[in-house]
Structure 1
Amino acid sequence: MTHAREDFTVMDATVTTFGKQKFVAVSKSLALFLFILFIGCIIGTALLVYHLSSCQPMSKLEESTLIVYDKFADVEATTAEPDDGSAPETEESVISTTTEGVKTESEVGDVRLPRSVRPHSYNLKLIPFIVEGNFTFHGEVTILINVTVTSHNITLHADDLIIDNVLVREHLHSNKFLSIRQVANETKRQFLIVYLNDPVEAGRQYFVSIRFRGVLNDLLQGFYRSSYKVNNETRWIATTQFQATDARKAFPCFDEPALKARFQISLARFKNMSSISNMPKIGRPEPVANLPDYVWDHYQESLPMSTYLIAFVISDFECLTNGTFSVWARRSALSQTKYALQIGPQILEFYEDFFGIKYPLPKTDMIGLPDFSAGAMENWGLITYRESVLLYEEKVSSKGSLQRIAHVIAHELAHQWFGNLVTPVWWSDLWLNEGFATYVECLGANSVNPHLKELDQFVINELHGAFMLDALKSSHQISIKVNNPDEINDIFDRISYSKGAAILRMMQHFLSMEVFQRGLNKYLKSRMYKNAEQDDLWRTLTEQSHEDGVLDPNVTIKEIMDTWTLQTGFPIVTVQRNYENQSVTFTQERFLANNDNRSTNSVLWWVPVTYADPKKTLASVWMRVEPVLTLDLNLSVDDWLLVNVNQTGYYRVNYDARNWNLIIEQLQKKSGHLDFDPKNRAQLLDDALNLASVGYLDYDIALNVTKYLKQEREFVPWKAAFTSLDYMYEMFVRTAHFDKYKRYLLDLLQDVYKEIGFDERENDEQLVVYNRFEVNNRVCRLGVRDCVINSIRQFETWKNSPYPDHRNSISENLREIVYCTAISVGGQAEWDFAWERYLNANVENEKETLLMALGCSKEIWILSRYLEWAVTERSGIRKHDSARVFAAVANNAIGQQLAYRFLKTNWNRLRTYLGASSMSLSSIVRSCTVRFNTQVEVDDFKTFLKSKEDEFGVALRTAHQSIEQGEANVKWMERHSGKIVKWLTANV
């Protein structure tokens, strides 16, 4: 439906004129009359103030705009003129601003909107003022609503907005307005409630028109401002980030994913700028009344979609285009969009084939933003990115960033089906969005880079990462009840993303890819432009798996998968062989990082057990929510047994000591490790070391597994080994026994370091490049002279170059190592040089590399200054990079306590600077505390958390996870450090 277009006008400023004073003479009787009138006015004013004393106080937003607008309360009482310009029916359209009848914050319960009213379509008009000192916006939204239950109020969302007036009418061009009793804000639930004297009736449609104002904030949430510089001139951008609950910061709306509607958007902009939104533009730009420098851009009405997927950007950016696919960036970075423009359409085409459904929108825009809180956001038809995960510059960006860009683009494009076309009913099933996108991104990225063995890398990048968090008692279910925005933001974590992806991969393997795809196609087609819950997916997949005969007719997918999505944690499957009668017993229990109460771990799962032996015999069996399962296997006493083939199942595996030793013997034979797939070699290393850390396995056995690494040359197993061995590094680096760990790791690395070398070779495969980075990173960090000297030499060559910002001979794939090593052994001169390069860099990947390296300094005062700059306006560090700085400093053994002390001392400052609901706070809390391994450290953080618990908000779960991890680290030191030191001493 096309609505009439209406121009906005800007309020005229009040002008006070000062001139020559004039005097008037009055009689005594007139003076007495005026005095009595004056007293009466005072009394009347007092009564009026008393009468209005129930009005809500001025909001923070109003205070920030007080200089320009000084007469608006939180919900303003005004009489509005209808769209057609005729006089309003005054008595019926006056709005009261009292809060009578509104729940107090202490009485607030459910944060979900009532379902008596649902939106059908929106007509949204916005004018952002991107001018230094006046970062505000004006807007009007007209919402066509469907009434499902007769009601005397209309409730929607608004947050940090000033509401100028509200109108409710049955027909858009009617002069007949519904009488409004009051309009109130319920700030706790971020509700805007319109109370009516006459009800809106079920089965009818009404138009709700709202004029409002807001601030283009600098917190990277809602409708916000960003900037960049060109020749020291600041260029401003107005852009959006609405997921999960921030569309309400930009315009009043029904801000829940299930309340889909169509949107027609109009944006006002400077004539020399451009705008983009979800849909293509229609018509030509039109002038804005009373704003001669502005024009309107009007956009096609969208398909039905959720509010969190709305997006718009006003900037002076430019784009490169391939058909209906465009990539936008700053002019100076436009050449860096070529790779994204190359692979984007290819991945989109792959998904059209994979899902069996054509991409439903007429165009796709992708844009790299200078300031962006997330990595990227899947807004339908306009995907927004942090520059570093979209833009690629040859000879500057590393091969790793090339893969990272492919993954992020594939992730966001996967959302165009999973999340956008079919959307979860509520955030409890966020994982349906993020888990699917995380798994399918590997397939999409693999379609353009098949040589990278993406599905092998999934094991180390997603599966093992999910295990680390999910082993904590403070983990959470994949599908979890959430209410307020902090709780919703809190579950954008490894559980929703990586665990969600891992269980989908597991399901795909026990169903087969063909059945999995057919089921997905049916699911998506049945729910197009609608919403779904996980049970809808389970139902469709059950039908398909029964139809194709891959699942027992008496078993449902829901029955299996509920044990994975509705229970916290994951199982450890213990394999006990009877070498006399050739039977094997499998038992399952929950794996926990703090394993003091094993007897209480009574939760059970449907576990798809796969296994193999030296004869390459492959088989599978279900553990059907049972603690014990016994099978008869025809295995020789000298044959090893491997369980969880290719680690497709989301569980760890332990064996009896004899089977472990059989596996170790096979690994240590010359080329014997090649009998195991690289994914299983990664699994054996990861499982063994993690099982030992918790007490399931003797550390002697676990460390014996690592001995074979001397002959390992594949990236995936080495990466898995480094993850676990790095944990030992963190535990020992501040102890007197670090030298033993150092000698053993260097012994493992000696041959592969000599073979792989420090310098790159022209024909190196990408996984070889990755492995060289991982090996050299550890060798340099452990102070090997050859590696350190190589780094210093290359850094000095760059430093002494006459044009260091344009000539850098250091390989882009080794810069992080070279920079960090040179800065760590250098002083202020090296740090200042790198900082200057950071400020001057035009490629965001290079800026991120430098930011991490700057945290490698050994100078405490430099690290202290660096942390200070991370939370200082105009220091050169963008807000979305503040957490990166804290991670860089905390990752430095010298900087760890420094970062934590800064966190405690500057807690209020951090919350103010980043925003109390910023997910960067969670990242900072985690990086500053996760390495604690003494009781003193853990207890100190507990005390701090207790004193500030009400202020942690979105970071609260992270804080509890850090405490649990810290306590596990303390127990690890007490129980295992002595034994490990003894083993290391004997095996170097």
Structure 2
Amino acid sequence: MELFILQKIFLVIAIICSKTEENQAVKRSIDLAATHALISDVRLSKDVVPTSYEIYLEPKINESTFDGFIRMNLICKADSKKIMIHAHYDLYINDRNIKLKRNTIKQGTECVLEIPFNGDVWENSEGLFKGFYINSSKNNKEVYFATNMRPNNARRVIPCFDEPEFKVPFTVSIARPKEFVILFNTPLQRSELHSSLDEYMIDFFETTPPISTFTFGLIITKLQKLDPYSEQIDPQVQPNINIWSNNINMEDLQKIQHKLELIYNLIRNFFNVTVPLKKIDIVGIPEVSFIQPVNNWGLLLIRKEELLNEGFYILTQELISQWLGSWVTPFWWADAHINKALSSFLASEIVIQIDGGVEFNGKYPMTKLYSIYYEFSKRYPHSRITAMKQETTSFKTELVIRMLHLTLGKNTFQNGIRSFLSAHFYSTFSADNLWNALTKQALGDSTLLSQYNVAEIANSWLSKDRLPVINADRDYLKKTLTVKQKVYLRERPHDVPGKDKMLWWIPITISRQDKLDFSRCEPYVWMGNTSQLNIDNMPSNDNFIIVNQEEIGPFPVNYDEQNWNLISKYLLTDDGREKVPTYTRAKLLHDAWNLAYAGDLSFTTALNMMLFMKFERNHIVWNPVFTFIDQIGRHIAMSQVHTKFEAYIRGLLAPLYEELGTEQLPEQDWKKDLRALAKKFLCQAGYHPCVKEAQNAFKFWQNSPSPNYENPVPNQYICPVFKWGSIEEWNFGLQRIAEFPKSRQPSERTFLLKSLTGCPIQPEKYNRLLQIAIIEEHPYFTDSDKILIFRTLAGSSVGYMTLFNFLTENWQILRQKFTNRTTLWDSLISSATGIFTTEEGYQMVKKLHEQHSGEFGSAEHIIQNSLRIIKEESKWSMENLPVIENWLDNFNPVGK
């Protein structure tokens, strides 16, 4: 028999079926190359599968190692010559000690595989890891061991079938020093003295129900169980929720317990079933080394700060995972984002039920929605960054689930989820299992027409990294509406392959002025597999319509100019602003500005939609405005329009900022955030009171006896001083970079360098920085600093114009300096040539390319790409800058 690593992820035991020895040692040849970090689509064979595991673990606290033994009870689903399991290269397995006990390896027979193993305990929060915290009562450092098996790290700790679908019972015993306690998935059954290790105990735990390997978990710790109440809860009603931590006073502890019980009861009521656990141990660890909570069956490891936090969301999401994730598990990692998105949506709904959305500060779901609008409207979504793609895919899935919740109806959705859950207890599910349960419930409740199904609707959104935009054009004489869908694209050029073939199932919900009702979420019609449809019986020509109110679905909507103007006029009335809900007002602003930015709507219309902001004071409606100010401001920064635009911003924001007044304690977060944003953009626009305030604060730093070791200036004041202040103030900041002490955090230096590079509007400041850092190459500027300088300069008009001039004037020197430093050279060419947006800029870059033809080396493709993009952007500028300037001249007297 041979054992070897197959594709670096499988441990394969080859079996000679003709042999019938009951207890046979198994040999292997092993390749200890690193396992692939990403989850492979290659799966284990199902010829032989586990029925249960018996595991013994013996962690060595002082040595940071562990020994272990696993007995796998297996069943043969088919005749086979091999058994395939997972074992990470970190795990050492003694080949000679592997034993296979069986009578025969034939279909329907059982066998037992025994494997001793050992490994190291790491500090990277994967597999079995260690962490530390300071015990404030004893003022000493405490160590703990814990596991994090998600997503596929169980193989780092035990040889196993490390795929979600293999759900089997675990019978586990673990050794520990006497002064420690072990928390496991299930309650402790008994403890015994270790037979060979002094001062060690062995804890035996109740056998788990069938669970996936990624929900197997433990922690070995000195943290204590904190009991706010003495009575025990009947586990038939709900599990005992135990809190483990240190130094939490009784008042806070009772608040935490009340919060957990409130959350648990709301989750149980939604699912209409109690999770089959006797206990849930929630461990609040001080100074944790991991970022996200570690969620296991019956065991949650979380930051102590999250326990003490006033919010509900994190705990709600993690407790939901006991039902949805542990009890009912995704069949494969491809469906994990469905699980995450559904858990996140349900957690948000429960939090809103608890506090009315106070914790979200009114931003849910807008924050997630806006982020995917921007990402999926790019020419190249995610920029090939895997983690970002996973996050935005999860956000999009959550918003699709929210859309189904609204369009199918709350009761239908809830009953469909209950049916889905009950059909998969102790089992696994695919996305289609969820969609089919919702379809069956919706058809039964008549909230979905019989020719539709949820799977087709959902997959039209989840199968592509794009979102649609709806164009709603009215014929006011015929009282009809033509609805068209297409791919939503903001970045130019809009040359996405296959865009004309992309179609979504879109719920067309309509609110009309003559029958105003924003509470109805049922679709007027589902638009599916068609790019256009016509709707009759629209209101008269003096009444607007609003499609997709309250962002029912994740898509923007464009209208004909007359309908936009009707909406704009209505929002200028007190009655209009009161009747149109907050999210819808925010949506109308967001859609208008983004469509104008994309070139699909006149900026006159978009700016007209801003007129009601003179009276608007809701922070949710204001939030997208700041994004628009930033994006449009950057885009027009090199034009003459920019000065008028800054005057417009001062006139728009100053009344809001002055009305908000100075900070009063206590104060709601939304007010504090809104004041900070208004102040930030007023400062950037040169609002004199703000700039003066910033300079006064900056003087404290200048007069400090040890300016290198302290910075008493709030971060919000740094940029205004470097932008609008004197060259002496800017030089003071540059000197701090040169003398930055190693004792301070590197992130503070990075922030300061970004501010020095990204804020000024005076070319002389940038020229001095480039001379010192690039030409003279002072040693306190690293190559990473230089790349940061280039990229940050590209973020401002004066910056990239100065950088372009610097490149043209010093071409030979720079080309020689960066001959063998292609990363620096490529970054310089990209930053200096790729940001222009006008025909003038295009001609400048084109001339540079022609003058130095054949000299760009590794950056040749970069300069060519810059020319393509600038040519496209210059068209946008020629079309839109005169429109923006004309509007500002007519509606903003200050800017004249």
Q: Same fold (TM over 0.5)?
A: yes
1:273-284 to 2 correspondences below 5 Å: 273-284=180-191
Q: Is the 8 A contact 1:576 1:655 kept in 2?
A: yes
1:283-682 to 2 correspondences below 5 Å: 283-284=190-191, 286-321=192-227, 324-329=240-245, 331=247, 340-364=256-280, 365-368=282-285, 370-386=287-303, 389-392=306-309, 402=310, 405-450=311-356, 452=358, 457-472=363-378, 474-475=380-381, 492-496=390-394, 498-594=395-491, 596-597=494-495, 600-618=499-517, 620-670=524-574, 672-682=576-586
Q: What SS does structure 2 have at the residue aligned with 1:681?
A: helix
Give the Cα–Cα distance (whole angstroms) in 2 for the partners of residues 834 and 341 of structure 1.
47
How big is the shift at 1:591?
Answer: 1.4
Letter in 1 for 2:654: Q
Alignment CA distance shift 1:318-1:712 (3 Å): farther
- Tell me which residue corresponds to 1:703: 607
- Tell me which residue corresponds to 1:775: 678
Q: Is the 8 A contact 2:649 2:685 kept in 1?
A: no
Q: Which moved further from structure 2: 631-640 or 290-299?
A: 290-299
Give the Cα–Cα distance (whole angstroms) in 1 for the partners of residues 348 and 585 of structure 2.
20
Give the Cα–Cα distance (whole angstroms) in 2 for the partners of residues 334 and 971 of structure 1.
66
Give the Cα–Cα distance (whole angstroms) in 2 for the partners of residues 889 and 211 of structure 1.
55
How big is the shift at 1:207?
Answer: 2.3
Q: What SS does structure 2 have at the residue aligned with 1:575?
A: strand
Letter in 1 for 2:526: W
- Tell me which residue corresponds to 1:200: 105
Q: What SS does structure 1 have at the residue aligned with 2:296?
A: coil
Q: Is the 8 A contact 2:737 2:749 kept in 1?
A: no
1:744-755 to 2 correspondences below 5 Å: 744-755=648-659
Q: What SS does structure 1 have at the residue aligned with 2:198?
A: strand
Letter in 1 for 2:625: A
Q: Is the 8 A contact 1:933 1:967 kept in 2?
A: no
Q: What SS does structure 2 have at the residue aligned with 1:433?
A: helix
Letter in 1 for 2:627: T
How big is the shift at 1:587?
Answer: 0.7
How big is the shift at 1:453?
Answer: 8.3
1:210 equivalenced with 2:115 (yes/no): yes
- Tell me which residue corresponds to 1:262: 169
Q: What SS does structure 2 have at the residue aligned with 1:493?
A: helix
Kindly provide the CA deviation profile for residues 861-898 of structure 1, in whole angstroms up to 9, marking residues without a partner as x.
Answer: 99x99999x99xxxxxxxxxxxxx99x9999979x999
How big is the shift at 1:588?
Answer: 0.9
Give the Cα–Cα distance (whole angstroms) in 2 for the partners of residues 325 and 834 of structure 1.
49
How big is the shift at 1:256?
Answer: 0.9
1:139 equivalenced with 2:68 (yes/no): yes
How big is the shift at 1:821?
Answer: 8.1
Give the Cα–Cα distance (whole angstroms) in 1 for the partners of residues 779 and 135 of structure 2.
27
- Tell me which residue corresponds to 2:809: none
Q: Is the 8 A contact 1:427 1:488 kept in 2?
A: no
Letter in 1 for 2:292: G
- Which of the residues 231, 239, 242 maps onto 2:146? 239
Kindly provide the CA deviation profile for residues 472-528 of structure 1, in whole angstroms up to 9, marking residues without a partner as x.
Answer: 45559xxxxxxxxx99967531112x1111111111111110111111111101111
Letter in 2 for 1:345: E
- Tell me which residue corresponds to 1:190: none
Give the Cα–Cα distance (whole angstroms) in 1 for the partners of residues 822 and 227 of structure 2.
45
Kindly provide the CA deviation profile for residues 825-881 of structure 1, in whole angstroms up to 9, marking residues without a partner as x.
Answer: 885999999999999xxxxxxx99x9997787538999x99999x99xxxxxxxxxx
- Tell me which residue corresponds to 1:693: 597
Give the Cα–Cα distance (whole angstroms) in 1 for the partners of residues 449 and 504 of structure 2.
17
How big is the shift at 1:572?
Answer: 0.9
Q: Is the 8 A contact 1:835 1:854 kept in 2?
A: no
Letter in 2 for 1:225: K
Kindly provide the CA deviation profile for residues 335-373 of structure 1, in whole angstroms up to 9, marking residues without a partner as x.
Answer: 987765442321111111111111322222143463445
The aligned length equals: 780
Give the Cα–Cα distance (whole angstroms) in 2 for the partners of residues 717 and 121 of structure 1.
55
Q: Is the 8 A contact 1:372 1:386 kept in 2?
A: no
Alignment CA distance shift 1:238-1:858 (3 Å): farther
Give the Cα–Cα distance (whole angstroms) in 1 for the partners of residues 795 and 305 of structure 2.
23
How big is the shift at 1:223?
Answer: 2.0
How big is the shift at 1:374?
Answer: 4.2
Q: What SS does structure 1 have at the residue aligned with 2:543?
A: coil
Give the Cα–Cα distance (whole angstroms) in 2 for the partners of residues 778 and 161 of structure 1.
54
How big is the shift at 1:554?
Answer: 3.1
Q: Is the 8 A contact 1:316 1:330 kept in 2?
A: no
1:70-109 to 2 correspondences below 5 Å: 92-93=24-25, 95-97=27-29
Alignment CA distance shift 1:270-1:790 (3 Å): farther
- Tell me which residue corresponds to 2:664: 760
Letter in 2 for 1:418: L
Give the Cα–Cα distance (whole angstroms) in 2 for the partners of residues 976 and 430 of structure 1.
41
Alignment CA distance shift 1:775-1:553 (3 Å): same
Q: Is the 8 A contact 1:372 1:385 kept in 2?
A: no
Give the Cα–Cα distance (whole angstroms) in 2 for the partners of residues 797 and 317 of structure 1.
45
Q: Is the 8 A contact 1:325 1:363 kept in 2?
A: yes
1:157 equivalenced with 2:86 (yes/no): yes
Letter in 1 for 2:85: L
Give the Cα–Cα distance (whole angstroms) in 2 for the partners of residues 795 and 338 of structure 1.
45
How big is the shift at 1:603?
Answer: 1.6
Letter in 1 for 2:500: N
Q: Is the 8 A contact 1:161 1:250 kept in 2?
A: yes
Q: Is the 8 A contact 1:317 1:331 kept in 2?
A: no
Letter in 2 for 1:570: L
Letter in 1 for 2:197: L
1:222 equivalenced with 2:151 (yes/no): no
Letter in 2 for 1:615: D
Q: Is the 8 A contact 1:244 1:308 kept in 2?
A: yes
Alignment CA distance shift 1:489-1:769 (3 Å): closer
- Tell me which residue corresponds to 2:810: none
Give the Cα–Cα distance (whole angstroms) in 1 for the partners of residues 749 and 354 of structure 2.
30
Alignment CA distance shift 1:748-1:315 (3 Å): farther
Give the Cα–Cα distance (whole angstroms) in 1 for the partners of residues 738 and 80 of structure 2.
65
Kindly provide the CA deviation profile for residues 87-128 of structure 1, in whole angstroms up to 9, marking residues without a partner as x.
Answer: xx999315242679x9x99xx995111111222222233233
TM superposition score normalised by structure 2 = 0.74
Give the Cα–Cα distance (whole angstroms) in 2 for the partners of residues 417 and 971 of structure 1.
54
Give the Cα–Cα distance (whole angstroms) in 2 for the partners of residues 225 and 147 of structure 1.
37
Give the Cα–Cα distance (whole angstroms) in 1 for the partners of residues 306 and 68 of structure 2.
32
Kindly provide the CA deviation profile for residues 675-734 of structure 1, in whole angstroms up to 9, marking residues without a partner as x.
Answer: 321111111122112222222222332233233222211121112222333333555679
- Tell me which residue corresponds to 1:684: 588
Q: Is the 8 A contact 1:612 1:641 kept in 2?
A: yes
- Which of the residues 966, 970, 974 maps onto 2:874? 974
Letter in 2 for 1:326: N
Alignment CA distance shift 1:745-1:360 (3 Å): farther
Give the Cα–Cα distance (whole angstroms) in 2 for the partners of residues 662 and 560 of structure 1.
32
Q: What SS does structure 2 have at the residue aligned with 1:343?
A: helix
Q: Is the 8 A contact 1:714 1:771 kept in 2?
A: no
